[in-house]
Structure 1
Amino acid sequence: MKKLLIVAHAPSENTQLMVDAVLAGAQQSDFNQIEVQWLPPLTATPEDVIACDAIILGTTENLAYMSGALKDFFDRCYYPCLEVKQGLPCALYVRAGNDGTGTCRAVETICTGLRWRWVLPPLVCKGPWQDKFTEQCHELGMTVAAGLEMAIY
């Protein structure tokens, strides 16, 4: 059994819909060798990261940066995971009010330092809320879970 960890900040109803969509995509019945777990960033621990085989990160755009909760997650997990999780397959989605560029750059910089491996380009859901955001998040969860199950990464 492989474990897909989703560490995503969901401070609003819409961002919770995005988390739910990622979970639904990753938990499709076709994926019977994948265990999926969502943890808010403030409760995720280095041990959770060490125990996973892939990770999806989710954040809001806050002043052109990631959420404080996701930054706290990285602050607590960076050094304990640095040597033991190199090459961890990762993906990112951002709920951006503006363009998400600064948020993506910040997360990508940290993940590069951790030597994690991007399996997809960041999904940036920007501007006013659109229903297609949940469809895109569902596809993201499904794609990462399928790649993990098929041992693509």
Structure 2
Amino acid sequence: MKRLLVCAHAPSLNTARMREALVKGARHPDIGGVEVVVKAPLDTQPDDILSCDAIVIGTTENLGYMAGLIKDVFDRCYYECLEKTEGLPFAFYVRAGHDGTGTHRAIESITTGLRWRLVQEPLICRGEFQEEFVDQCQRLGLSMAASLEAGII
């Protein structure tokens, strides 16, 4: 059984819906070989990252940067995961009130240092909330889990 870790900051009803849609996609009934573990940022520990086969990070855009709680995950886990998680397949989504550029750049910078492998184009959900964001997150979760189960990532 492979393990997909979802670490997502969901401070609002809409961001919670996005996270739940991602999890629903990842837990699609046709996917049987992937355990989906969902952790809030404050609950995410280095062992969670060390024991997963892939990770999806979800964050809001806060002041042109990732959410502080997601940054905290990286701060607490970076050195324990460095050199032990090289090549870890990952994807991320951003609920961006503006353009998401700073958040994208920050996550890319940190994960480059970890030498993780981005396996999906980042999902940047910009502007006013749209129902399409929920569907996009569900597709991202399905794609990550199906690719993990099939050994593609």
Question: TM-score with structure 2 length normalisation?
Answer: 0.99
What is the correspondence of 1:17-96 to structure 2 with a 5 Å cutoff? 17-96=17-96
Structure 1's consecutive aligned runs of 4 or more residues displaced over 3 angstroms after TM superposition are none
Determine the structure 1 residue equivalent to 2:124: 124
The match for 2:149 is: 149
SS in 2 for 1:86: coil
Which residue in the other structure is 1:110 paired with? 110
CA distance in 2, matches of 1:118, 1:107: 11
CA distance in 1, matches of 2:152, 2:28: 18
Quote how far apart the aligned CAs of 1:83 are. Answer: 1.2
User: Amino acid of the residue matched to residue 98 of structure 1?
Assistant: H
Unaligned runs of 5+ in 1: none
Cα distance in structure 2, aligned partners of 1:110 and 1:8: 16
Residue of structure 1 in register with 2:11 after alignment: 11
User: Which secondary structure state, in structure 2, belongs to the residue aligned with residue 35 of structure 1?
Assistant: strand
Aligned to 2:99: 99
Rounded to whole Å, the distance in 2 between the matches of 1:146 and 1:99 is: 29
SS of equivalent to 1:83: coil
- Distance apart, 1:81 and its partner CA: 0.4
Pairwise CA RMSD of aligned residues?
0.4
Distance 2:76 2:31 in 1: 31
Paired with 1:30 and 1:108, the residues of 2 have a C-alpha distance of: 31
Render the CA deviation track for 1:7-36: whole Å, top value 9, x for unaligned: 000000000000000000000011100000
State the TM-score, normalized to the length of structure 1. Answer: 0.99
Amino acid at match of 2:49: V
